[in-house]
Structure 1
Amino acid sequence: MNHVRTPRFTRTLVVTVAASLAAMGLGACGSAGADSGQEETTIRYQSYAGAVDAFLLADALGEFEGLTLKRVGDITGGPQALQALVSDQTDVGGSAFYGAIAQLVATGAPIKAVIPFYGSNEATNSAVSVLEESDIRTARDLVGRKIAVNTLGANQEAVLDTWFEQQGLSQAEQDKITLVPLPPLNTPEALGSGKVDAAVLSFTAKKQTEAQYPLRTLVRDIDVVGEPYAGGGITLREEFIEKNPKTSRQIVEGVAAAIEFLETHDKQEVFDVYFPYLEEEGYGDYIEPIRANFPGTLGIDAKPVIADEDIQRWVDWLDSRGDIDAEDIDVKDVYTNELNPNA
């Protein structure tokens, strides 16, 4: 399939990251661990506003004893999280789409996905949604229309592209569909007021939007790519892993323990651990949105590991767009399970 897109956010991200790498030098970024002979114990991270974050849950469970977490803002999207990681603003790349990780690795970014962090199943998934009164009922009806996504060049765009291909839309038809990046908080109003004609909504965003407007689902991501599937993972810089092997393992093992706890306990048990921690750490405003919208799962296995096929499906997608040449990348260069206790 020859599916060459016009430049979008992923290409902008690649250029930005390449510039960062050139400015710093591939080996210049990183923590003080190697220079001092001691491992880094202050971990810079970005948090997820209004969601159960397995990274913070790990800290709440006591998995990060001896480490100090330093928050440097909230994650606005996987590509931005990767940019922060590669440019040495953070030490842990928050949950990012495997396709975005693969594309950066293909350009030489020295990063590795280390553990799955989010996915989709029957309990939690994303859906292409329209207002109940809309005349849009098929993929082809979206030609000439606007679709809201949380960010360009990431999981939602990949699912849309795959669905359009499955539904037989030509490249010319697909090029007439406009994707509009919007923060989830702005999407309900944009959809309700007609600024966009459809929106790809996560489980949480769909609940929030349905509270204001009657919706109809056109297709779910699990209808397009199957379920369950892992969409993205936590990422570390290779040099951070090399210089801080014990710290890196503690981070991944801690997140693994938090994921298992979350996936094997009911919501209230998770809240009983997580909410006091959020209050203590100054994230009290996260609590009510989580209580109202958390589906009780991250959409992944209780003991997740990264598999070749998790990466390969999106490498194939990137290749079809002309963003990378699939022959130039080995999916095993994109991830490692060596730090994951479930492997």
Structure 2
Amino acid sequence: MSTTTTASVRRLLAGTTAAAALLGGLTACGAADATTTDGKTTVRYQSYPGSVDPLQLADALGKLPGISLKKVGDVQGGPESLRALASNQVDISSSAFYGAIAQTVATGVPIKAVVSTYGTNAKTGSAIVAKKGSGLTKDPHSFIGKKVAVNTLGANAEAVLDTWFAKGGLTKAQIKKVTLVPLPPLNTAQALSNGQVDAAYVGVGQLKPLADAVPIDTLVKDSDVVGYYNGGGVALRNDWIEKHKDADRTLVSGISYAIDYIESHQREDVLKVYDAWLTEHGYADQVEAVDKNWNGSTGVSSKGGVIADKDISIWLDWLGSRGDVDTSTIKPSDVYTNEFNPNA
């Protein structure tokens, strides 16, 4: 893990801890209450550009009755979304890595994951790719002194890379010599082409458009490193969970339905519904990127995104091995709840 990465993770912890303190004041003032229009609960959220958002798809499928979605911007990664959630800028997080959620909960931030929204299975996942001629190989030692693009620091990409490096025999000192560079996924091709980074951690949906833009070699898939897994999900603040039980059930059941809809329908059928929703709601400029980059699966392996202890424990073990979390003070069930998932 590079010095830059370590500092960024510390900033994440400091930011979420400060947000927890801020949240206490906001909750005391009633600022965490949802506003309503025409009897509907307004839910503020952020989304990722270039992919199908399960929350938006749930709305497109008519599975969010009584909910009025209010988008407050795009987000690049889970840690950024968790900071927004903790500081009451949004009411539901975007998809966030379970390791980042666990680390945030361990600092005392009162949030819980409520449904899995992405993962790696036989249909989809992520891969570590390198620009041809970079000198990088399937041997992790070749990455020493190189730069690797990731969507954000302190999240899924870093966890898989860190695990791969360690399994490949790199020492902690050698891992520190690998520099992780946070970049929006849509900017990765240009960074590789310009030599700003030597490699990248990308979703498999990006492989074809990436290869069309710059010659690359696919070195290893995340499933080769840690197997199939539910990688992350959306989270709610504990105060929201307690105050808005009906909205909780609607949000989670709607997202759960959307996850199963994606896995049971052809890619073009999902995009037909989703692209129409984007256009109708003023996001037509995002359709091209979604159609180009989305690979047609969430990778979630459980029915309706039900969360299991194993989805959390694998990353608690990783966090504990680095000294980021005292695993004796937190257990998987502290990080999530399936209370509102009809498939649980």
Query: Structure 1 length as normaliser, TM-score?
Result: 0.93
Corresponding position of 1:152: 153
Distance in structure 2 (CA, Å) of the matches to 1:312 and 1:200: 23
Distance in structure 2 (CA, Å) of the matches to 1:94 and 1:10: 19
Distance in structure 2 (CA, Å) of the matches to 1:236 and 1:11: 23
Corresponding position of 1:207: 208
Secondary structure at the aligned position of 2:220 is classed as strand
AA at the equivalent of 1:95? S
Inter-CA distance 305–30: structure 2 relative to 1 (3 Å threshold): farther
Corresponding position of 2:259: 259
Corresponding position of 1:23: 22
Alignment check: 8 A CA contact 1:151 1:182 kept: yes
Distance in structure 1 (CA, Å) of the matches to 2:248 and 2:285: 30
Alignment check: 8 A CA contact 1:82 1:96 kept: yes
- 1:290 shift after superposition: 1.9
Corresponding position of 1:43: 43
Distance in structure 2 (CA, Å) of the matches to 1:156 and 1:239: 30
Secondary structure at the aligned position of 2:304 is classed as coil
Distance in structure 1 (CA, Å) of the matches to 2:208 and 2:222: 16
AA at the equivalent of 1:158? A
- Which runs of 4 or more aligned residues in structure 1 lie more than 6 Å from their structure 2 counterparts after TM superposition? 3-6
Corresponding position of 1:114: 114
Distance in structure 2 (CA, Å) of the matches to 1:277 and 1:190: 31
Distance in structure 1 (CA, Å) of the matches to 2:55 and 2:177: 39
1:207-240 CA distance string (max 9 Å, x none)? 332111121111110100002x111001001110
Alignment check: 8 A CA contact 2:20 2:108 kept: no
Q: Would you say 1:87 and 2:87 are equivalent positions?
A: yes
Q: Percent identity?
A: 49
Corresponding position of 1:271: 271
Secondary structure at the aligned position of 1:248 is classed as helix
1:139-180 CA distance string (max 9 Å, x none)? 001111111111111000000010011111111111111111
1:79-131 CA distance string (max 9 Å, x none)? 01000000000001110000000001111111000000001123222111112
AA at the equivalent of 2:227? G
Corresponding position of 2:290: 290
Inter-CA distance 84–240: structure 2 relative to 1 (3 Å threshold): same
Corresponding position of 2:13: 14
Corresponding position of 1:248: 248
Secondary structure at the aligned position of 1:25 is classed as helix
Alignment check: 8 A CA contact 1:112 1:333 kept: yes
Secondary structure at the aligned position of 2:6 is classed as coil
Alignment check: 8 A CA contact 1:4 1:321 kept: no
Inter-CA distance 44–208: structure 2 relative to 1 (3 Å threshold): same
- 1:17 shift after superposition: 1.6
Alignment check: 8 A CA contact 1:106 1:324 kept: yes
Distance in structure 2 (CA, Å) of the matches to 1:300 and 1:201: 17
Distance in structure 2 (CA, Å) of the matches to 1:63 and 1:57: 9
Where does 1:1-343 land on structure 2 (aligned, <5 Å)? 7-25=6-24, 27-28=27-28, 30-32=31-33, 41-137=41-137, 138-227=139-228, 229-301=229-301, 302-343=303-344
Alignment check: 8 A CA contact 1:30 1:239 kept: no
Distance in structure 1 (CA, Å) of the matches to 2:201 and 2:254: 31
State the superposition RMSD in angstroms: 2.1
- 1:194 shift after superposition: 1.6
Distance in structure 2 (CA, Å) of the matches to 1:4 and 1:150: 16
AA at the equivalent of 2:60? A
Distance in structure 2 (CA, Å) of the matches to 1:10 and 1:285: 33
Which residues of structure 1 form unaligned runs of 5+?
none
Distance in structure 1 (CA, Å) of the matches to 2:268 and 2:190: 31
Distance in structure 1 (CA, Å) of the matches to 2:207 and 2:154: 21
- 1:264 shift after superposition: 0.4
Inter-CA distance 307–18: structure 2 relative to 1 (3 Å threshold): same
Inter-CA distance 130–288: structure 2 relative to 1 (3 Å threshold): same
- 1:339 shift after superposition: 0.6
- 1:196 shift after superposition: 1.3
Secondary structure at the aligned position of 1:323 is classed as coil
Alignment check: 8 A CA contact 2:49 2:290 kept: no
Secondary structure at the aligned position of 1:68 is classed as strand
Q: Please identify, of 179-188 and 251-260, the stretch whose mean Cα deviation from structure 2 is larger.
A: 179-188
- 1:8 shift after superposition: 3.2
- 1:25 shift after superposition: 1.9
- 1:30 shift after superposition: 5.0
Secondary structure at the aligned position of 2:94 is classed as strand
Distance in structure 2 (CA, Å) of the matches to 1:154 and 1:140: 22
AA at the equivalent of 2:314? R
Which residues of structure 2 form unaligned runs of 5+?
none
Alignment check: 8 A CA contact 1:116 1:300 kept: yes
AA at the equivalent of 1:79? P
